[in-house]
């Protein structure tokens, strides 16, 4: 769902300078969340916009939203002042945090032409996945803020309704996906996401929409799986592609994904990335959100 910011709210936010945030460990401090909420609640139509954002992420059949902050980014730039406003919107959904202690709250995802093409900072197709798939407590929300799109026009963001894809599978495939037989990736120096989960089931709850669909298509090439379990995962990968939707993030667009509902990925960037200066290449900023008990994140 695309959510435009009302013009009167944009005008008020351009004149609103939020204070620097403080962290409590890896998480945005409660005092900062309360301060931001108090400040933003006085701007016209903020509460209405925040409520629309929460509904888009949690209503039945929903699970992602793109908040159009482009006019704010153009007016303010994309440095600290703008990021505080984006953080304020994120805090209306859940608690912002960084699971990577070596990175700031907002993590850069740039473009590296020599990186594994399928990685987030690579130039190739990034297959459907959920972030922190092998953690016992993955972030309920993953978010991406577009600073610069691919200047050559590639890199469409991809989204797919994971429970809907699972529902189209055979009963036998669903049974295989529910077995603790899958593994992917490494796990080290992470905060706020529990322990390593290895092996794990792809379907970790029998009630679709309540548990995570712990899937990354990358496991099909980079993990050793039994034939039957790999075939079930390939079937799910194909259904995710069949049900995908796409969008081209523009400067200032803020994509928020409910990981209990949707998986995400990216089309390949356009060829010729090596001809673009690093400072001009696609740049996203990533932030994770931890839902609180009873906030309706799995409603």
What pLDDT sits at residue 207?
55
Classify residue 299: in a domain, yes or no: no
Q: Say if 163 falls within a structural domain.
A: yes
Q: What is the mean pLDDT of each run of 10 residues along the chain (299 residues)?
A: 96 96 96 98 97 95 96 96 98 97 93 91 95 96 98 97 96 96 91 95 73 94 90 97 97 97 97 95 98 50
- pLDDT score, position 36: 98
Which pLDDT score is estimated for 61? Answer: 83
CA distance 255 to 237: 22
Q: How many CB atoms lie within 10 A of CB 110?
A: 16
Residue 81 CA, distance from chain mean position: 22
* 297: in domain: no
Residue 214 has, within 13 A of its CA and on its CB side, a CA count of 28
Q: Which domain holds residue 181?
A: 2-290
In a domain, 41, yes or no: yes
Shortest CA distance to 111 belongs to which of 266, 265, 250, 284? 284
Could you give the number of structural domains in the chain? Answer: 1
pTM of the model: 0.94
Distance of alpha carbon 85 from alpha carbon 16, whole angstroms: 9
Q: Which CATH number characterizes residue 99's domain?
A: 3.60.130.10
Give me the pLDDT at residue 102, please: 87
Residue 169 domain flag: yes
Task: Give the pair of three-digit tokens for residue 153.
Answer: 């026009």
Residue 296: inside a domain: no
For position 204, what pLDDT does the model report? 83
Residue 9 lies in a domain: yes
């Amino acid at each position: 769902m695309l959510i435009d910011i009302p013009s009167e709210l944009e005008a008020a936010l351009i004149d609103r300078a939020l204070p620097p945030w403080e962290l409590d460990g890896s998480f945005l401090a409660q005092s900062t969340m309360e301060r931001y909420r108090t400040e933003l609640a006085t701007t016209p139509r903020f509460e209405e916009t925040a409520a629309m954002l929460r509904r888009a992420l949690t209503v039945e059949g929903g699970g992602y939203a793109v908040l159009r902050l482009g006019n704010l980014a153009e007016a303010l730039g994309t440095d600290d002042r703008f990021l505080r406003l984006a953080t304020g919107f994120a805090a209306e959904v859940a608690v912002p945090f960084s699971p990577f202690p070596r990175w700031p709250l907002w993590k850069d995802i740039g473009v590296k032409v020599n990186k594994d093409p399928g990685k987030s900072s690579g130039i190739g197709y990034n297959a459907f996945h959920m972030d922190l798939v092998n953690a016992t407590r993955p972030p309920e929300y993953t978010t991406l803020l577009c600073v610069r799109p691919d200047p050559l026009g590639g890199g469409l963001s991809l989204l797919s309704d994971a429970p809907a894809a699972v529902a189209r599978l055979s009963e036998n495939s669903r049974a295989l996906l529910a077995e603790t037989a899958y593994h992917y990736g490494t796990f080290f120096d992470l905060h706020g996401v529990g322990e390593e989960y290895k092996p794990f089931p792809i379907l970790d709850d029998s009630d679709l929409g309540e548990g995570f669909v712990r899937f990354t298509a990358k496991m099909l090439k980079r993990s050793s799986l039994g034939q039957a379990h790999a075939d079930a995962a390939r079937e799910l990968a194909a259904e995710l592609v069949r049900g995908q939707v796409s969008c081209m993030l523009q400067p200032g667009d803020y994509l928020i994904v409910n990981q209990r509902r949707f998986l995400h990925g990216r089309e390949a960037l356009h060829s010729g990335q090596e001809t673009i200066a690093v400072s001009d290449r696609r740049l996203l900023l990533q932030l994770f959100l931890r839902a609180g008990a009873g906030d309706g994140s799995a409603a």
